[in-house]
């Protein structure tokens, strides 16, 4: 009775004082992609799969969590709440019952209006599916049904699109087979926690738009599809077509969910078991194609995965030990590009068969979870690498198995987690850590990992300094301080070592990385921060050419800094000013980089204009500067800038009607220190590069 009286009192408060809250069911806002990406994404690096990360996070947005029923594991999946807030929310639900309004969160200790505004796009109060209608009726009338078309082009002519040359020997040089246009088409219809179905088509610049079943090209170069149903009886999810999976800490099933070291220094080190998700990105690797399903039985769930997916790679013939000829895989092509005849020969040449599953137990209290993963993968040909000293412990063969055990435990304000895996080779990988709210003002995280040099897991995205989790040991510590509502201080320190050799590091090596970020937010309309990051890693000294000198390594020290000021002048006008710098010290040589940029956004009811102008000066590629850029809808870019030049872009958005929205983007980079851009077939004869992007989104049922 006391619980219901409290809820009734809150409802009366909402009705009498509407200015103190925004209604029982506030409108679900769209995510701000820039704030979303910059806060959660790792520190920019060239080898990170940003599109895949963005797509998985975007799936969480499209399928908001039920804040009344979700346990601690699910609540932390968006990385928007700290352990103290999650613990307080669960205690509030246990004491007063389900929330009747999202703004009842104001009554939960530790929840302020800024926090509530941030989580609104990712949460819901509960059931929003009209089960009285049959599935076909729900599918036919679903509002979230759209068709999206995107065109992108670089307007300067690259060498790959010119006429081929003929050498003195009569050989004809390679050129791109197709035109310079990039086309992307997506159809999607989905309802949160009910169903999702879609098709994604993609053609990259230089690829042919042709119909050729022998090379798996059906107009577009890449074709992806999925059909997913949720909560059919005891089946939590059934997914057909292309999908991903994330369980435990990502040592077996990683799903591209590689958040780790970034500006959000505490919660992002911990992976979440978000389960099976539809795959909607245009990357041509790293997903399953087949059937994935999860069956729920009280506190247990069992997931099964069956996949037979094409992979790009090169194969060649060689003689085995008894003189018989066999085809072997020499390398995989993960670029997804099929522009030349040589690249086209890699398309879908390899078949990858995968069987696996997950069994997971969740305690009724929501404070404990444990599970086991297993995955078997077999290629249609053995994979034999070009043998080098540094890669002799990496996978070789035709099949691999990997299994793991994991747990998550919530004890007061501590979230402990871990996973330990072993692969067919006998190599092991282990992650252990915790995330904690030590007080209302202090959050802290700690993670220890150890990956053997012969640990092999193809779909892993465990926390690691390297691209893949093997040949690495390390410990990470992160902290967040909130001395007042206006100030926030984030920092982390990560020490890592590599017991065996690595590419470009021909000796056992070690390194470290730290970041410090101070944010000042005197009001909701004004914020500023300064960020410093230092990274130390060993690298081979360039070969001197003297035969008596073996490879030697020296530490490379890189420092990056960022100063930012953001001001929401009015509802229509937003300004951002930033200064970026870098410094690199290697082999007694120092180099510097510098960038200054200004952003302006202005919009009214049906239109918006976003612009940037930036000047950059980076002495070499090691000093490259990464700057997040606004782009058209559900697209983002984090380009790297080196050399000297000017970068600017202009984006226009216009809503023709509730159904049709258009975006157009013009971007140009002009260099002052060169007369050619890029190299090889990507070479542009000139000092500037111009790019346009056009996107149209049509909502079918609005």
- CATH number, domain of 111, equals 1.10.150.280
Mean predicted lDDT score pLDDT of the chain: 86
The answer to whether residue 16 is domain-embedded is yes
Q: Taking the C-alpha atoms of 311, 317, 318 and 322 in order, what is their torsion angle to the nearest 10 degrees?
A: 100
Structure tokens at 392: 């002799």
Report the distance separating Cα 256 and Cα 49, nearest Å.
Answer: 7
- Cβ distance 207 to 177 under 8 Å? yes
Residue range 3-10: mean pLDDT, rounded: 42
Q: What is the per-residue pLDDT for 400?
A: 97
**DSSP SS3 for 83:** helix
DSSP state of 171: P
**DSSP SS3 for 134:** coil
Report the distance separating Cα 302 and Cα 312, nearest Å.
Answer: 31
Q: What is the per-residue pLDDT for 494?
A: 96
The answer to whether residue 11 is domain-embedded is yes
Q: What is the per-residue pLDDT for 41?
A: 61
DSSP-assigned letters across all residues of 180-214: SEEEEEEEEEEETTTEEEEEEEEE-TT---EEEGG
Q: Is 11 left (phi over 0), alpha (psi -120 to 50) or beta?
A: alpha
Q: pLDDT higher for 170 or 228?
A: 228
Mind listing the pLDDT tens digit for each residue in 379-432?
Answer: 999 998 888 888 889 999 999 999 999 999 988 888 899 999 999 999 999 999
Q: Taking the C-alpha atoms of 88, 90, 96 and 101 in order, what is their torsion angle to the nearest 10 degrees?
A: 90
DSSP-assigned letters across all residues of 331-379: EE--S----SHHHHTTTT-EEEEEEEEEEEEE-TTSSEEEEEEEEEEEE
Report the distance separating Cα 484 and Cα 490, nearest Å.
Answer: 14
Mind listing the pLDDT tens digit for each residue in 503-523?
Answer: 878 889 999 999 999 999 999
Q: How many domains does the chain have?
A: 1
The answer to whether residue 101 is domain-embedded is yes
Given a cut of 90, whether residue 107 has pLDDT beyond it is: no
The answer to whether residue 110 is domain-embedded is yes
Structure tokens at 390: 């540094």
Report the distance separating Cα 251 and Cα 461, nearest Å.
Answer: 6
Q: How many helices (H) and strands (E) does the chain have?
A: 8, 35
Question: Which of 276, 272, 199 is CA-nearest to residue 237?
Answer: 276
The answer to whether residue 422 is domain-embedded is no
The answer to whether residue 104 is domain-embedded is yes
**DSSP SS3 for 156:** coil
Give, for 34, the enclosing helix (H) or strand (E).
helix 33-40
Range of the domain at 106: 1-128
- HEC per residue, 666-695: EEEEEECCCCEECCHHHCEECCEEEEEEEE
Residue range 38-56: mean pLDDT, rounded: 60
Mind listing the pLDDT tens digit for each residue in 299-331?
Answer: 999 999 999 999 999 988 876 666 677 789 888
Question: Which of 700, 693, 664 is CA-nearest to residue 183?
Answer: 693
The answer to whether residue 193 is domain-embedded is no
Mind listing the pLDDT tens digit for each residue in 637-650?
Answer: 888 999 999 999 99
Q: Is the pTM of this model over 0.75?
A: yes
Cβ neighbourhood burial of 163 (10 Å; 0-12, 13-18, 19+): exposed
Give, for 38, the enclosing helix (H) or strand (E).
helix 33-40
Q: What is the per-residue pLDDT for 19?
A: 40
Given a cut of 60, whether residue 166 has pLDDT beyond it is: yes
Report the distance separating Cα 343 and Cα 353, nearest Å.
Answer: 23
- Cβ distance 299 to 364 under 8 Å? yes
Report the distance separating Cα 690 and Cα 677, nearest Å.
Answer: 12
The answer to whether residue 23 is domain-embedded is yes
- HEC per residue, 382-400: EECCCCCCCCCCCCCEEEE
Pairing of strands 350-362, 325-332: unpaired
Percent share of the chain, pLDDT over 90: 56
């Amino acid at each position: 009775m006391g619980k219901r009286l409290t809820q009734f009192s809150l409802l009366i408060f909402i009705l009498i004082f509407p200015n103190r809250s925004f209604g029982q069911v506030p409108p679900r806002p769209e995510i701000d992609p820039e704030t979303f990406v910059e806060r959660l994404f790792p520190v920019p690096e060239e080898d990170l799969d940003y599109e895949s990360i963005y797509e998985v996070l975007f799936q969480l947005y499209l399928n908001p969590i039920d804040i009344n029923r979700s346990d601690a594991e699910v609540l932390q999946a968006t990385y928007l709440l700290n352990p103290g807030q999650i613990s307080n929310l669960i205690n509030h639900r246990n004491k007063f019952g389900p929330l009747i309004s999202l703004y009842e969160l104001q009554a939960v200790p530790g929840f302020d209006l800024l926090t509530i505004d941030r989580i609104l796009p990712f949460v819901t109060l509960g059931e929003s599916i009209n089960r009285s209608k049959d599935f076909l009726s729900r599918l036919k009338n679903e509002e979230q049904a759209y068709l999206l078309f995107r065109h992108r082009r670089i307007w300067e002519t690259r060498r790959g699109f010119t006429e081929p040359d003929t050498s003195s020997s009569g050989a004809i040089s390679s050129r791109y087979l197709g035109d310079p246009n990039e086309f992307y088409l997506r159809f999607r219809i989905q309802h949160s926690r009910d169903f999702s179905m879609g098709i994604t088509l993609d053609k990259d610049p230089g690829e042919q738009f042709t119909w050729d079943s022998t090379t798996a090209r059906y107009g577009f170069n890449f074709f992806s599809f999925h059909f997913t149903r949720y909560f059919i009886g005891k089946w939590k999810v059934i997914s057909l077509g292309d999908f991903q999976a994330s369980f435990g800490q990502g040592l077996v099933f990683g799903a591209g969910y590689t958040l780790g070291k970034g500006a959000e220094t505490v919660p992002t080190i911990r992976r979440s078991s978000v389960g099976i998700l539809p795959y909607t990105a245009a990357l041509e690797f790293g997903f399953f194609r087949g059937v994935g399903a999860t069956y729920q039985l009280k506190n247990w769930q069992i997931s099964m995965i069956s996949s037979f997916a094409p992979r790009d790679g090169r194969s060649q013939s060689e003689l085995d030990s008894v003189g018989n000829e066999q085809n072997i895989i020499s390398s995989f092509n993960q670029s997804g590009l099929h522009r030349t005849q040589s690249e086209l020969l890699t398309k879908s040449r390899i078949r990858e068969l995968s069987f696996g599953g997950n069994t997971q137990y969740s305690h009724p209290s929501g404070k404990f979870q444990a599970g086991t993963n297993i995955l078997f993968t077999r290629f249609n040909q053995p994979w034999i690498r070009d043998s080098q000293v540094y890669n002799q412990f990496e996978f070789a063969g035709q099949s691999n198995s990997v299994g793991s055990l994991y747990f998550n435990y919530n004890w007061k304000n501590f979230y402990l987690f871990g996973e330990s895996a072993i692969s067919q080779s006998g190599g092991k990988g282990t992650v252990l850590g915790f995330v904690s709210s030590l007080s209302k003002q202090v959050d802290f995280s700690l993670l220890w990992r150890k990956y053997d040099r012969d640990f092999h897991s193809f779909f892993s995205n465990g926390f690691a300094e390297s691209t893949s989790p093997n040949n690495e040991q390390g410990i990470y510590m992160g902290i967040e301080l909130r001395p007042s509502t206006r100030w926030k201080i984030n920092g982390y320190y990560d020490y890592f070592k590599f017991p065996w050799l690595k590419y470009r590091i021909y000796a056992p090596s070690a390194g470290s990385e730290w970041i410090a970020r101070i944010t000042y937010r005197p009001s909701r309309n004004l914020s500023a921060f300064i960020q410093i990051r230092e990274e130390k890693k060993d690298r081979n000294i360039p070969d001197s050419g003297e035969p008596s000198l073996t490879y030697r390594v020296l530490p490379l020290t890189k420092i990056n800094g960022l100063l930012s000021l953001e001001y929401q002048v009015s509802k229509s006008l937003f300004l951002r000013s930033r200064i970026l710098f870098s410094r690199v010290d290697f082999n007694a040589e120092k180099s510097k980089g510098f960038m200054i940029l200004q952003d302006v956004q202005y919009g009214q009811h049906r239109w918006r204009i976003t612009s940037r102008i930036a000047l950059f000066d980076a002495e070499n590629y090691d000093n490259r500067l990464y700057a997040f850029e606004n782009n058209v809808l559900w697209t983002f870019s984090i380009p790297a800038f080196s050399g000297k030049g000017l970068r600017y872009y202009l984006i226009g958005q216009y809503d023709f009607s509730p159904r049709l929205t258009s975006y157009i983007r013009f971007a140009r980079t002009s260099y002052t220190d060169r007369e050619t851009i890029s190299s090889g077939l990507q070479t542009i004869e000139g000092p500037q590069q111009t790019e346009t992007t056009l996107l149209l989104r049509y909502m079918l049922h609005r």
